[in-house]
Structure 1
């Protein structure tokens, strides 16, 4: 794993101002296409699902329509599940895992549960393989107070306006080596704090909401995913990313109070999934498959509890 380093923007110990944020933003270059990778995939799904534009990001000169997919023949008497991906745009399998679930698995749940899938919440970050939005704000700390940035606000307001009662919310993420050598150093530089390097777990794990962790639900996801890819072991302190291990591959962390996407709904069964795409023991396709396995296991568990 890559060693953390001092971030080259800003002055150590001093939070960024407008000039530093502008310098950081200017350094972010488009590396892939949201339209080609996500919008085109949604267009292909349009005959099988309802594709809804729930908002738009306007970061001149770039403009990004925000899309969600819902099942046809919506049945208000059924429970509803929300799947979100790409809240952190650089976490690739969250986006492609959500799209793969739609293409290969979603129709099998017809007549049992309604589905809402927002596969790429942060398309600016997706294109630049970046954690933040253009203002150096973390979308996964912004799902509170009605939404602190447009990526969060648009989705939150649309979901609230729909008025669905959610049973399940699965938010699909990755933990990567770039967290250690790029994003954590950038965050500490931005906030004027000292970097304390963390250990990146090698494998899949989930973060349950500590306010209502639903441990049996979290364990069901791990049991399904370990048939697809390896589960992250605890570190020498019995922790994953600084949180105590509750059971194999399961930690509990704050969601609602910190503005994480997985905490903005009242879904009884909610979690944040995490895969490690930089492991020599996995592949990009295996990471996508792990995300899909987690989604299916979450839906199956929730349906069995009704």
Structure 2
């Protein structure tokens, strides 16, 4: 590694090749169990929900079944809502917030919506507390029909079954201190680019779809989460992670062109949550609770407003 390198793999200014990606992959270590912490939780839900495998990832000698949880009785006359978590495996509350929602709140929506919940999109990343998959691909920039990421391709195909009739999709994420210390440096090194400016917002925020931002929907979620944990303030330039704040705790991205998970359906109501688990003002349980509050508020608002595009 040269003296001006900011990451221990690769040569500054040169994108990674096969050798560098293999070196990065070899450095990843399994730190927790997808089976013990996620699959067993799903097994406990089978009495009340349809828990089924929608795909399988095979990485070397490891196989990861992918699970979706659906309402036990699907009513084609009801709207469908989609909840996804663990697109980035290291973002823990996205996974466990989705599981907590299923355990504690999902049955309350029976007869009102058809639920489709995918708690852990990226199990290899979950086990290694990693943002990428083993090929050093970010699943959350890879949601498209010809996706190079197996995690994204499998969810894309699953979403095709509800894409045109999905009312709401909420994708559960976190922004962590390791975004600055590990993942942004790794991304810049992988792509042979300079290290960008960092900065981690302290608190919860949302990423809306800039093409259909649905401001009242976003603010309904912010109001619900504010009762659980604090909302991220803008920085001195009125930004959160480099994007203008459009309303309290909300920024916008063009989700479909960027290949983000939030763009996998044609839902009228779409958002991505961002919890800050490293804040001294939030506990892991508060982070899970914030995700659950966001999911419930998102469903409630979507149902109350009947799927129409808001101004």
**TM exceeding 0.5:** yes
Report if the CA contact (8 A) 1:174-1:275 is conserved. yes
1:152-301 to 2 correspondences below 5 Å: 152-161=152-161, 165-301=165-301
Report if the CA contact (8 A) 1:84-1:170 is conserved. yes
State the alpha-carbon separation in 2 of the partners of residues 129 and 254 from structure 1. 27
Tell me by how many angstroms 1:159 deviates: 2.2
Q: Deviations over 1:82-137 (max 9, x none)?
A: 00000000000000000000000000001111100000000000000000000000
Report if the CA contact (8 A) 2:163-2:267 is conserved. no
Tell me by how many angstroms 1:78 deviates: 0.2
SS in 1 for 2:246: strand
State the alpha-carbon separation in 2 of the partners of residues 146 and 17 from structure 1. 21
- Structure 1 counterpart of 2:54: 54
State the alpha-carbon separation in 2 of the partners of residues 226 and 121 from structure 1. 27
SS in 1 for 2:178: helix
State the alpha-carbon separation in 1 of the partners of residues 184 and 162 from structure 2. 36
State the alpha-carbon separation in 1 of the partners of residues 207 and 196 from structure 2. 21
Report if the CA contact (8 A) 2:163-2:265 is conserved. no
Tell me by how many angstroms 1:156 deviates: 1.1
Tell me by how many angstroms 1:164 deviates: 6.0
Aligned residues: 302
Report if the CA contact (8 A) 2:34-2:123 is conserved. yes
Tell me by how many angstroms 1:155 deviates: 1.2
- Structure 1 counterpart of 2:6: 6
Tell me by how many angstroms 1:146 deviates: 4.1
The CA RMSD measured in Å over matched residues stands at 1.0
Report if the CA contact (8 A) 1:220-1:298 is conserved. yes
State the alpha-carbon separation in 2 of the partners of residues 123 and 291 from structure 1. 19
SS in 2 for 1:83: strand
Tell me by how many angstroms 1:294 deviates: 0.2
State the alpha-carbon separation in 1 of the partners of residues 260 and 42 from structure 2. 25
- Structure 1 counterpart of 2:25: 25
Report if the CA contact (8 A) 1:48-1:72 is conserved. yes
SS in 2 for 1:170: strand
- Structure 2 counterpart of 1:121: 121
SS in 1 for 2:52: strand
Report if the CA contact (8 A) 1:32-1:127 is conserved. yes
State the alpha-carbon separation in 2 of the partners of residues 162 and 244 from structure 1. 32
Tell me by how many angstroms 1:61 deviates: 1.1
Report if the CA contact (8 A) 2:174-2:274 is conserved. yes
Report if the CA contact (8 A) 1:146-1:156 is conserved. no
State the alpha-carbon separation in 1 of the partners of residues 149 and 299 from structure 2. 29
State the alpha-carbon separation in 2 of the partners of residues 111 and 29 from structure 1. 43
- Structure 2 counterpart of 1:136: 136
State the alpha-carbon separation in 1 of the partners of residues 201 and 217 from structure 2. 21
Tell me by how many angstroms 1:150 deviates: 1.0
Tell me by how many angstroms 1:60 deviates: 1.2
1:71-82 to 2 correspondences below 5 Å: 71-82=71-82
- Structure 2 counterpart of 1:97: 97
Tell me by how many angstroms 1:216 deviates: 0.7
- Structure 1 counterpart of 2:309: none
Range 193-202 or range 266-275, more displaced? 193-202
Question: What TM-score comes out, normalization by structure 1 length?
Answer: 0.97
Q: Deviations over 1:132-177 (max 9, x none)?
A: 0000000000101343311011111122145661000000000000
